[in-house]
Each structure stands twice: as C-alpha cells, then as structure tokens.
Structure 1
Amino acid sequence: MTQIKQLIVIVAIVLTGSIQSQTDYEKAMEKAFSLWEVEGLTAAEQFFERIANAEPNEWLPNYYVAQINSLKSWEEKDANIIKAQLDKAQTFLDVAKSISKDNPEILVMQAHIYTNWVVFDGAFYGMKYGATISELYEKAYRLAPENPRVVFSKADWGYGSAQYFGQDTAPYCKEIEKSLELFANFKPETNFSPTWGKERAEQVLKECK
C-alpha cells in the first residue's frame, strides 16, 4: 500500500470514528442548525425545543429557542404575537439561566429580549427596562470583557441610546470596532456555542462612519 493510500485509509478511519463517537445530543444539535439554515427559524425552533426537553442539563437548546423567538420579534407589529414570542423566549431563557449561572451569553440574550420590548413600545418599555438592559451588559462585560458579543451588544445599546438622546456616539463606535477585532480571534467553547454578531457589528460600524 502506498503512503497516499495509507493516509487516505487513516483519515477515513479517523472520520468514521469521529462520526460514531458523536453523542445523540451532538447529532441533534447539528440537525437543528441544519434545519435553521435550510428550512428556517420555525423548523429549527421546534427541533431545539425537542432537544431541550430531552436534555434537561444542557442550556444551549433553551438559549436558541429564546434567540429564535427574539429574532422573530424584531420586525413583528402585532402586539399579541410579540407577547407570545417574547413570553416564550423568556420562559426558555429562564431555564437556560437555571442550568448555567452567570453566563455572559445568557445575559446578553436577556438584554436582547428586553430590547425587543423597548423597540415595540419605547415610551412604556424604555422606562421599564432601559436601566436593566444597561446593568445586564455591565455584568456581562465584567464576566467576559473579551467576548465579542458582549462588547458589541453593550456598545450597540450605548450607540442607540446616544443617538436617541443626541449625544456623542464616537466612544461606542470605538467599542464596536474593538468588537470586530475580538470576533476575528474568537474561539467558541463548543461546536454549538454562540458565534453570531459579526455581520451586525460590521453593519453598525458602517453607520458610525
């Protein structure tokens, strides 16, 4: 057997072993992300729910159900639909919190859910959640100052607030630029850990300039 053939056989054995060694949880998470990419948010949401029910010690499936419902709510105008989506997001995020304490990714998602409410009705929910959102980002930053989603989300909230109140946005734009450097070097803890945010950071930075 030639060296090339030997190498091909070795690679095939390694890949086969890797596939066989995957847990049911890992296979299910891969399928959920595949559904997200191919069939969209609702199909992925339903599958993440199934994983969350089957894996009560895993925070990530609950996190992604919360994230999907948050994403759905950004463009929604119907108050009843928004309430149903954000209530569901909160329910699943509360489960994620109970599994993983003081998790900066969960803190950021909590801030996003509250921001959904503010976007829907700023006059009411801005007063209710504005200070809490800032506190969540401060806590997340203390826990993970090198996490790009933390740095960007905190700066993005500050940038939007500064625009609203007619204040200088330059310091927040600097932080958004810093977040892009962090995104470039970020390595998620697992194959399924959050990696989102870079594209949005690039978009906001363009607005800054």
Structure 2
Amino acid sequence: MKTLLSILIIAFISFFQIQAQSQYETGMNKAFDLWSSGESQQAANLFERIASAEENNWLPFYYAAQIKIVESFDMEDVVLKEQQLEKAQELLDKSKANSQPENVENLVMQAMLYTAYITLDPSVYGMKLSGTVTSLYEKALKIAPENPRVVLSKAEWDMGAARFFGEDPGKYCPEVKRSLELFSKFKARSAFYPNWGEGRAKMILQNNCKN
C-alpha cells in the first residue's frame, strides 16, 4: 500500500511539473512570437510575467532586458531612454542573480547596455564606461572564446571604437567572419538559450567588409 501511495505521489508531482513546464514553454514561445511580429513591448511584459512565475530561471529576465536595451538605441528622448535603460538594468540584475556569475550571455548584454548609455551621452558616459565595456568583452572572450555572440559583439564594439579614433574598422572583419563560422557550429544548451546574432553578423559583413 505504501509503495502504491509513493507511486501515486510521484506521478502526481510529475504531472504538475510537466504542466508547469508546458505553460513555461507556451509562454516563452508566445513572447518570441510577439517580439518577432514587432510587438516588443508586449513581448517584454510577457517575459517579465513569466519570470515572476519561474523561480531561479534567468532567461525570461534576460530577454526582457534585451528587448529594452535593443529598443533604446533608436530612442531620441533622453529622459525616456534613460528610464528604459534603468529598467533594463533592473531586469539584467535579476538575470544575473538567477544565473552563474560567469554567464557570458549576461556579460555581453551588460556590455550592450553600457554601450546604449554611451550613445545616450558620449561626452558623459564615453569616458566613464568605454573601458568597462572593453573589459566585459575581454572577460567574456576569456571565458568562452568559441561563443559566437561574444566574438561578434566584441568585434562590433572594436569597429565602433576604430571609427571613433579615425582608424580602419575593417581590420576587425576577420573576427566577424569567425563569428559566422562559430554560429554554424553553435548548439544552444536548451530550447530558449540565447541563439541570436547570426543575421547581425551577416549585415555587418555586408556593410563594412567588402573584401
């Protein structure tokens, strides 16, 4: 009787675990669909709702932060952009809190967030954050030299720095090309693990690397 009861309890727990996982997957897929259809704000809100229900899961926080960071680059209102980045930092901090300290995906996203701040006011944030961005990419590259997003993002940052100092950004084209090779080999650790960047790499090559 005790054995039967134990089996029933295990089956009951497993059922609800499967149900919870199914709800998570459905929610994440819906959020990605919203994002891809241009409804980024709704997608970010849904990622946040998923995050509130998913204990110790960094991914929903990560994607909610990513949306706000990416969108901020096109924002012209300084006050709204700063508010957007402050919210993105809150979300990214939660992503970090629910992940390993040396998660390179979070390191790349933090570097992107600081880059967005630099575009907000280069005279203020350029000197303050440029060195930090470089350090973040160097740290990420040391941890995961074969991660395509690390290689691509660092190369794009280096290209921007080269332009700023009047140098040829084309010298970083080989790294962009290398990132494409890495994208072709990259295997995500899970269904929703970050896998973005390949299209960006192709666009950078087309626009900046003619040879």
Q: Give the TM-score taking structure 1 as reference length.
A: 0.86
Structure 1 residues 62 and 20: CA distance shift in structure 2, 3 A: closer
| The 10-residue stretch of structure 1 (188-197 or 130-139) with the greater mean CA deviation from structure 2 | 188-197
Match of 2:115 in 1: 115
Q: CA deviation at 1:21?
A: 9.1
Instruction: Tell me how far apart the structure 2 counterparts of residues 62 and 134 of structure 1 sit (CA, whole Å).
Output: 24
Provide the aligned length of Structure 1 versus Structure 2.
Answer: 191
Instruction: Tell me how far apart the structure 1 counterparts of residues 37 and 151 of structure 2 sit (CA, whole Å).
Output: 30
Instruction: Tell me how far apart the structure 2 counterparts of residues 38 and 199 of structure 1 sit (CA, whole Å).
Output: 17
Structure 1 stretches of 5 or more lacking a match?
A: 1-18
Match of 1:133 in 2: 133
Match of 1:208 in 2: 209
Match of 2:23 in 1: 24
Kindly indicate whether residue 42 of structure 2 is the aligned counterpart of residue 78 of structure 1.
no
Q: CA deviation at 1:56?
A: 2.7
Instruction: Tell me how far apart the structure 2 counterparts of residues 107 and 132 of structure 1 sit (CA, whole Å).
Output: 11
Say what the alpha-carbon RMSD is for the aligned residues.
1.6
Instruction: Tell me how far apart the structure 1 counterparts of residues 20 and 58 of structure 2 sit (CA, whole Å).
Output: 22
Match of 1:164 in 2: 164
Structure 2 counterpart of 1:26, which letter? E
Q: CA deviation at 1:106?
A: 0.4
State the Cα deviation string for residues 6-29 of structure 1 (Å, max 9, x = none). Answer: xxxxxxxxxxxxx97953222221
Runs (4+) of structure 1 exceeding 4 A deviation are 19-22
Match of 1:48 in 2: 47
Match of 1:195 in 2: 195
| The 10-residue stretch of structure 1 (146-155 or 171-180) with the greater mean CA deviation from structure 2 | 171-180
Match of 2:12 in 1: none
Kindly indicate whether residue 56 of structure 2 is the aligned counterpart of residue 57 of structure 1.
yes
Instruction: Tell me how far apart the structure 2 counterparts of residues 131 and 20 of structure 1 sit (CA, whole Å).
Output: 46
Instruction: Tell me how far apart the structure 2 counterparts of residues 77 and 35 of structure 1 sit (CA, whole Å).
Output: 24
Instruction: Tell me how far apart the structure 2 counterparts of residues 208 and 171 of structure 1 sit (CA, whole Å).
Output: 9
State the Cα deviation string for residues 100-129 of structure 1 (Å, max 9, x = none). Answer: 121000000000000001112111111110
Q: Give the TM-score taking structure 2 as reference length.
A: 0.86
State the Cα deviation string for residues 52-81 of structure 1 (Å, max 9, x = none). Answer: 111131000000111010011011010111
Percent identical across equivalent pairs? 50
Structure 2 stretches of 5 or more lacking a match?
A: 1-17
Match of 2:186 in 1: 186
Match of 2:9 in 1: none
Structure 1 counterpart of 2:33, which letter? S
Instruction: Tell me how far apart the structure 2 counterparts of residues 107 and 124 of structure 1 sit (CA, whole Å).
Output: 22
Instruction: Tell me how far apart the structure 2 counterparts of residues 82 and 96 of structure 1 sit (CA, whole Å).
Output: 21
